[in-house]
Amino acid sequence: MKEQLQRHLEEIQQELWSMSDHLYHNPELGDQEFESMALLTEYLARHDFQVEKGIVDRATAFRATYDSGLPGPTIAFLAEYDALPGVGHGCGHNMIGTMGIGAGILLSKVVGDTGGKVVVLGTPAEETNGAKVPMAEQGIFEGIDAALMLHPADESYESGDSLAMDAIQFDYTGRPSHAAASPEKGINALDGVLQLFNGINALRQHVRSDVRIHGIITEGGKAANVVPDFASAQFYVRAADRTYLNEVVEKVKAIAHGAAQMTGATLSMHNYELSYDDMQTNQTLSKRFTDNLLATGVEKVHPAKKSYGSLDMGNVSQVCPSIHPYIGLDSPGLVFHTKELADLTITDNSHQVLSRGALAMALTGFDLLADQELMQQVKEEFQQMK
C-alpha cells in the first residue's frame, strides 16, 4: 500500500510543484488569500473532496473532506497559504499549503482500503490572526483523531514546542495643552506609555527565563509643543505554557494600571490579535512521522529545537493529537521571514522536498488508519497530556 502512495505521488507531483510556484508568484496577505484558497480547493474538488468554504466566519478558510464510507479514524492535514508584507512567502506557506493538500489527496487514494476519513483544513492568517484559534474553539477538530502539518526550514527537525502568546494593546488618553505655555493643564498620555515600558523592564528580572515580552509605541503624539492627549503601545507577551502566561499577563496589566495612576491618564486595553496556546507535540505521532520522513530519502532529522516563537497550531494541539515538524531546504542557517527563504521554495531541490514532505505525511496518515494499536497509543498519550 505504501508503494501505491509513492505511485500516486508521481502522478500528481508536477501539479503540486506548479501550485506551490503559483502561490509564490501571487502572494496574498492573511484573510485576503482568495485566489490561493480557490487554487487549492479547486484541486481538492477535482480529486473528489467535498469542500466547504468560509468556515468559522473566515472568508478564506475551508474544510475539505474525503469520506471512505467505512468506519475508521479521521486524519487531518493543515494547509497555510498566507504571505508576509514585503517578502511574500518568506515563511514558505506556499509549500505548507501544497504539502497539506498533497498529503490529503494521496491518503484519499487508499482510504477505501483502510476505512476512515481524510480532512484538509485551510487555515488563513497564521502570521497575524491565525484561523486555527477559532477552529479549535468552535469544534472544527471534534472527531479528528490526529492533525498534521509540515513547515519548511533550513534543515529538518522533529516537532517540538512553542510559546503561548497574548497580543495586547494599551491605549492611554490624556489632555492636550501647550507644552511650554501651560504644561500644568495637560495630562501626558505618552508618559503613561513610557512608564508602562519602564515597569515592564523592571518586571523582566522577576519572571521565568522562558518569558518574552516585546513591544512598540504605535502612537506617541503629533507635535513636540503639544502635550500628547493619546498614546498607544502594542506588546506580545509569551511564556512556555498558558497557565504561567496568564500570571505574567496579569502582572503586565497591573503595571499598565499603575502607569495610568502615575500620570493621570485614562487606560483602555484589548487584545489586538488572537491568543495562541503553547504547542504540545504528540511524541508517538512525531516519532512515526520522523521514521516516514527518513524513509522518503531525507538524510537526517534533528531533534526539536527550543522555540521562542508562537504558533496557532498550539491551540490545535490542546484539542487533538498534533505535530508541527520541519522539513529542510538543505540551507543551514536559513532565516525565516526573508526573501531568501521565499526564493528557495521554487527551486528544483525544494520541489523534491515538497514531494517528500507530502508523502511522509500521507504515509503517517496511512499508518494511523491501518494500525489500530498505533492510533490507540497516540490517543492515550494525548489524554495523559491533558
The CATH number of residue 260's host domain is 3.30.70.360
Based on the fold, state whether residues 119 and 245 are members of the same structural domain: no
Asked if 95 and 78 touch (Cβ cutoff 8 Å), the reply is no
Claim to verify: residue 8 and residue 136 sit in the same structural domain: yes
Q: How far apart are CA 321 and CA 282, in angstroms?
A: 6
**What's this model's pTM, rounded to 2 decimal places?**
0.93
Q: Which three cell numbers stand for residue 241?
A: 505554557
Q: What is the CA radius of gyration of the chain?
A: 23
* Residue ranges making up the domain that contains 198: 164-271
The amino acid at residue 100 is: G
pLDDT band for position 120 (cuts 50, 70, 90): very high
Contact residues for 377 (Cβ-Cβ < 8 A; gap 6+): 284
CA-CA distance, 84 to 268, in Å (whole number)? Answer: 29
Of 213, 242, 271, the residue that ends a domain is 271
Confidence at 305, pLDDT banded by 50, 70, 90: confident
Q: How many CB atoms lie within 10 A of CB 118?
A: 27
Note whether 307 and 199 are same-domain residues: no
285 plus 260 within the same structural domain = no
Sheet-wide strand order for 212-219: 212-219, 230-239, 164-173, 266-271
Cα angle vertex 151, ends 149, 152, to 5°? 150
Check whether residue 252 and residue 103 sit in a common domain. no
Same-domain status, 133 and 42: yes
Write down the pLDDT at residue 106: 98
Q: Report the C-alpha gap between 155 and 149 in whole angstroms.
A: 16
Give yes or no: residues 201 and 349 share one domain: no
Is the predicted pLDDT of residue 115 greater than 90, yes or no?
yes
Q: Tell me the C-alpha distance between 161 and 283, whole Å.
A: 11
CA distances from residue 141 to 146, 222, 279, 355 in whole angstroms, order as listed: 9, 47, 16, 26
Which of 237, 271, 305 is at the close of a domain? 271
Confidence of residue 234 (pLDDT cuts 50, 70, 90): very high
For residue 294, which amino acid is it? L
170 and 149, same domain (yes or no): no
Is the domain of 119 the same as that of 251?
A: no
Write the CATH number for 151. 3.40.630.10
pLDDT band for position 194 (cuts 50, 70, 90):
very high
Q: Is the pLDDT of residue 385 over 90?
A: no
Q: What is the pLDDT of residue 200?
A: 98
| Tally of CB atoms within 10 A around 46 | 10
Q: Give yes or no: residues 300 and 249 share one domain.
A: no
Residue that is last in its domain, among 211, 243, 271: 271
Judge if 169 and 155 occupy the same domain.
Answer: no
Is the pLDDT at 2 greater than 90, yes or no? no
**CA 103 – CA 96 distance, rounded (Å):** 11
Going by their DSSP bridges, the two strands 50-53 and 62-67 should be labelled as antiparallel
Q: Which residue has the cell 502570521?
A: 127
In the chain, % of residues over pLDDT 70 = 100
Across-strand partners of 76?
A: 119, 147
DSSP for residue 369? H
pLDDT digits (tens, 9 = 90+) for 18-75: 999 999 999 999 999 999 999 999 999 999 999 999 999 999 999 999 999 999 999 9
> What span, in angstroms and rounded, lies between the C-alpha atoms of 92 and 80?
9
Distances (CA, A) of 256 to 182, 202, 351: 27, 13, 49
Same domain, 13 and 122: yes
Closest CA to 290 of 380, 103, 156: 156
Q: Mean pLDDT in the chain? A: 97
Q: Which residue has the cell 510556484?
A: 21
Domain count, the chain: 2
